[in-house]
Chains A and B, each alone.
Chain A
Amino acid sequence: MEQQLKQLEQEALAKLQAASNLKELNDVRVAYLGKKGPITDLLKGMGKLSPEERPKMGALVNTVRENVTAQLEEKVAVLEEQAIYEQLEKESIDLTLPGRKVRQGNRHPLTRVIEEIEDLFVSMGYEIAEGPEVEKDYYNFEALNLPKGHPARDMQDTFYITEETLLRTHTSPVQARTMELKKGEPIRIICPGKVFRRDNDDATHSHQFMQIEGLVIGENIRMSDLKGTLDALAKKMFGDDREIRLRPSFFPFTEPSVEMDISCFKCGGNGCNVCKHTGWIEILGAGMVHPNVLEMAGYDSKKVSGFAFGIGAERIAMLKYGVDDIRHFYTNDSRFLSQFHRTER
């Protein structure tokens, strides 16, 4: 019987080794260790043995059984691993093929510039004010110290709709409207919007463009406040190492009036083609609110003062992104628009 058992063990182990997949292995298990298998049979036949032999034989059967089971489990593990390996092999893919991209759009570059400026000023406590694109002559000109017949009206050729209504030539009428609304209260606003001038469209002119106007009114608002504010704007839009300078200028709605230049962001001020070899780039116009403008809106120009500035969004975008033709902003070529997708810095 012992002999028989050894032989069975050898047989089982040999078949087990020969098995090449989990199914064959299972067959081996059923054949040798199953309820109807020979080892079970041997166990059943133990009753015929003498009481002395019985435990010895029992132990021996168990040993064989355990050995076969252990080796079987080992083999199962090997085969399972192999099966997983094969599956992985079969499922492996060409990782260099392009992914299934999610379609994404993005802001227009002008909106991108405007929102960036809006966010800066909102963080400094400003509100965003908006006004109509079709304006009254009064808000566009008269309330801004540009009475009818004023020579400076030449500076901005206007699309009139009637004698008294027009397409606004700047976002400054929003200032006038806000002042009227606030009735003497302090103001901090930024006013982005579309404006219109009688210009033929070419690489540097557009009959429609975008402006962002800023206005602060309060007690003791000084020109140094304007300068500090514009400095913050220049650094935000063109980098922390930008310097600004103010040059005297003229706008009927401010006195004193200035234009602001920034140190050239391309050459750092040494002179290059971007700054026309001057080291400086003209960015915007600004000034202290003219007392006539304050008085017309019901503010006491002896008690309060203010500053205002106006930026062309196209100019900023053209400089910032190196765009060479203003018409790109209004052609809406996807190849242009989609370039303004990614983040900066």
Chain B
Amino acid sequence: MLVSLNWLKQYVDIDGIAAEELAEKITRSGIEVDAVIDRSKGMTNVVVGHVVSKEKHPDADKLNVCQVEVGEGDIRQIICGAPNVAAGQKVIVALPGARLPGGVKIKKAKMRGQESNGMICSLQELGVEGRVVPKKYAEGIYVLPEDTVPGSDALELIGLRDTVLELGLTPNRSDALSMLGVAYEVAAILSKEVKLPEIAYNTISEKAEDYIKVRVEAKENPLYAAKVVKNVKIAESPLWLQQYLMAAGVRPHNNVVDITNYILMEYGQPLHAFDYDALKTNEILVRLASEGETIVTLDDQERTLKAHNLVITNGQEPVAIAGVMGGANSEVTTDTTTVVIEAAYFDGFSVRRTSKELGLRSDSSARFEKGVDPNRVLIAGERAAQLLAELAGGEVLEGTVAVDDLDKSPARVVVSPDFINNRLGMKISLEEMLSILNRLQFDVEAANGLLIIDAPTRRQDIKIEEDIVEEIARLYGYDEIPMTLPEGNEQIGGLTPYQEKRRIARNVMEGAGLLQAVTYSLTSDELAQKFTLKAEDTTRLLMPMSEERSTLRQSLLPHLVEAASYNIARKADSVALYEIGSVFLGKTEEELPFEEEHLALIVSGKWVDHAWQGEKLSVDFFIAKGIIESLFEKLGLTDRVSFEKASVDGLHPGQTAAILLDGEKVGLIGGLHPTERKRYDLKETFVAELNLNAVLAAQVEELVYVSVPRFPAITRDIALELDRSKPAGEIIEIIRNAGTKLLKEVKVFDVYEGDKMEAGKKSVAFSLTYFDPERTLTDEEVVSAHNKVLKALTEAGAELR
């Protein structure tokens, strides 16, 4: 909502208050002023000129040489290129030395050899937005009324010596979608009175009801009133009206349309003007559209209607879409003489739905949607009749033809001052409360310790006690509220075990050198199921904004791979990222997907790079695996985790494993498939992803101290020749199972494949540690235990080297 202060002054006294100060007061008490716009924009030396003569420029087809009187007897030659300039016009002239918006400075100049002492201006050149400039002047200079005086201040005349407040209105304050609504608000803030427009006009003896009948067949339209005005002369509106409309961001058209728009802005009540003769039937019937019915709207678009759309008809065909837009068939044109003014109350929900469906948002629909003031509908119709008489020479017929079932009673709220003070944590006196409510022009009575309040119907947002709390608080001042902390806390607060462990998981990842990434949950259909062990049904948006963000992910990895690629493309020689986030799998009984929190990581490029020491190491599978193992170790789950060869779309078939916790699959780890590496322009890249919900839910035993060993451990090494494909993990399993309880640890300390081995074979060396916490082991005991291991290995077909 754009509020011209010149206009606002018509309703409330704001003299003596600077615009900035007023804006601050309005903002602090409830309506945010987004901008304070000085319409003069620092312009100077802009005056009214009288074009005395116009001749073609001798050397330029599109230019005219004009003699312009810019003050009594002060005639100057000005070159003008506007197509609509003509002798006899009163125009706006920027004199040499003038400053215009956008840093334009006017100087004396020669244009193709002809002297030019200023510039004849369009409104756009004076900083008026092109979309509000009357169409007639949109492509050229603006022409002023004939009776304007050359040399006088043109800015004053066209209303640019004005300041406009741009209000950022929240949906509850639709009352401020009108100049009067803003006036009430400002009056409450400044403790002033509101001056309402005086409505008085003469009527002729003919009766409106003899011209038109109104019928309503839809509950969405509880009030429909029609007034009829004859002998209207369609013309341009007076300058003051045009100025106000332009300041409010509305383009002037002609006096009839402008009057309806003016009242829309003044009262917040949308009106519509029909050409009476074009209606043809002397009847208005409001009803729901029949499915598929069509209407050509004012913007010359054919609209197909649905059965729930409310339409105004002439009893036969639609002539307007209620509250949204008029029909072309009944439009006011330059030939119109008799006008029917519609002042109606349309149901907000219905208008909202219709305007949304048709993609037609207008100043009118915006107001109906939020609910107009029931008590202003008929007044607005009267105001229109008055202005049509005053400004368009119309003759108003007697009476209003109306169907009126609208409840216009105010909302009653009963609240105790204690409730208000308790809710605020304050001690505001009853007198102060009454004073505030009076300033707001709420009808209030204090009785039996209660405030009985009838809120004016323009304030549709006032319904309950809490609304009164807010009114009191905002006008009393939020700065006055003290600062306290909630009392009586019985809760200790803290993180859940899951939340604590998740933070620990972050620490482990970061301690391992990974940066935390956050990527988007929405991805493409194609990527949604990539890098998963098992694809589930996907969740897709009803109306995605792009295919790229259309479906919820089932793995964090596709976006992490993209992030790695992004970094490598920007010359990073190493990327190490992790992310914790939700994935979306299948569907629950509640129609929502299962949301699982995952942890994923990616390492790519160099891992170790100690340049001057000559140490460089690229990432490999075991770096990724080591990080995952560190996490399991931190969580006390090492002994419950195993890795099992697996196949995952997008990962290297020979370097991919499923991660199992207590035998259940909880994640995957692997190298990026060479074709994927090529696609994303990545070198060695390894990834892992875990179902964090499952991993962090695993319960571990309480931590209990184990005594530090007092007796020495004894180690024995074994080297085995194995098939290249034989996993070392299986051998460790055999050793563990065969070793007695004396065997405490099995470690791989060497893996060799190469020249010295037979093709298809490898050598793996293990170090076994035997230990008894209670005593020093004897040689015989160790040999006996170790022999059991060797026997088991031989039985399993392993070849000792």
A contact residues vs B (CB 8 Å cutoff): 97-98, 100, 102-108, 110-111, 115, 118, 121-128, 132-136, 149, 151-152, 154-155, 159-162, 164-165, 167, 186, 188, 194, 196, 198, 200, 207-208, 216, 218-225, 227-229, 231-232, 245-250, 255-259, 288, 290-291, 305, 329-335, 337-338
Contact = CB atoms under 8 A, between A and B. Distances in A.
A105 B509 contact: yes
Interface string B138-170: 000000000000000000000000000000001
A121 B495 CA distance: 11
B116 interface: no
A134 B595 contact: yes
A290 B515 contact: no
Interface stretch (B25-33, B46-54, B395-403): B25-33
A165 B352 CA distance: 22
A160 B595 contact: no
B473 A227 contact: no
B576 A103 contact: yes
11 contacts: A105-B515, A132-B595, A149-B353, A216-B486, A222-B424, A225-B425, A249-B32, A256-B469, A329-B518, A331-B566, A332-B519
B478 A246 contact: yes
B519 A248 contact: no
Nearest first, the 9 closest Cβ-Cβ pairs linking A and B are A224-B425, A103-B513, A222-B425, A250-B170, A256-B470, A228-B483, A105-B510, A125-B493, A332-B563
B483 A227 contact: yes
B519 to A, nearest CB: 7
Contacts of B544: 159
A250 B171 contact: yes
B470 A255 contact: yes
Nearest to B31: A248
Nearest to B610: A100
A154 B171 CA distance: 9
Nearest to B564: A332
Given A126-B493, A198-B545, A151 B369 contact: yes
A127 B521 contact: no
Interface string B424-466: 1110000000000000000000000000000000000000101
Contacts of B522: 159, 167, 196, 207-208
B170 A106 contact: no
A106 B516 contact: yes
Given A136-B592, A228-B485, A290 B493 contact: no
A288 B467 CA distance: 11
Nearest to A106: B510
Contacts of B610: 100
A245 B483 contact: no
Given A208-B522, A255-B466, A288 B423 contact: yes
B543 interface: yes
Most buried by B among A124, A196, A248, A288: A248
Contact of B493 (A123, A136, A229, A248): A123
Contacts, number: 245
B566 A332 contact: yes
B478 A337 contact: no
Given A247-B27, A330-B518, A223 B494 contact: no
B546 to A, nearest CB: 9
Contacts of B592: 132, 134-136, 165
B489 interface: yes
Given A121-B493, A228-B483, A330 B171 contact: no
Contact of B486 (A106, A111, A225, A245): A225
What's the dominant secondary structure at chain A's contact region? mixed
Contacts of B545: 198, 200, 207
A219 B466 CA distance: 16
Interface stretch (B101-109, B216-224, B534-542, B741-749): B534-542
Given A216-B486, A220-B422, A333-B570, A161 B521 contact: no
Given A134-B584, A160-B542, A337 B517 contact: yes
Given A108-B518, A132-B595, A290-B466, A334 B510 contact: no
B797 interface: no
A338 B510 CA distance: 11
A291 B120 CA distance: 61
Most buried by A among B486, B515, B521: B486
Contacts of A250: 170-173
B268 to A, nearest CB: 15
In which size bucket is the chain B interface?
35 or more
B499 interface: yes
B604 to A, nearest CB: 11
A288 B473 CA distance: 12
A291 B419 CA distance: 13
Given A108-B517, A207-B522, A250-B172, A333 B425 contact: no
A97 B519 CA distance: 37
B608 to A, nearest CB: 8
Contacts of B467: 255
Given A224-B425, A291-B466, A104 B516 contact: no
Contacts of B503: 115
B259 to A, nearest CB: 28
Nearest to B353: A149
Contacts of B485: 124, 225, 228-229, 232
Nearest to A115: B503
Nearest to B510: A105
Nearest to B485: A228
B566 A249 contact: no
B628 interface: no
A335 B29 CA distance: 44
A100 to B, nearest CB: 5
Contacts of B778: none
Contact of B494 (A127, A133, A220, A337): A127
A296 B521 CA distance: 30
B612 interface: yes
Nearest to B552: A134
A78 to B, nearest CB: 37
Contacts of A335: 570, 572
A136 to B, nearest CB: 7
A229 B492 CA distance: 17
B491 A107 contact: no
A164 B511 CA distance: 43
A122 B494 contact: yes
B489 A125 contact: yes
Contacts of A231: 483
B334 interface: no
B491 A127 contact: yes
Given A107-B516, A111-B506, A127-B491, A165 B483 contact: no
A332 B577 contact: yes
A334 B584 CA distance: 27
Given A104-B511, A105-B510, A338-B515, A224 B424 contact: yes
Contacts of A232: 485
B755 to A, nearest CB: 33
A220 B511 CA distance: 46
A122 B495 contact: yes
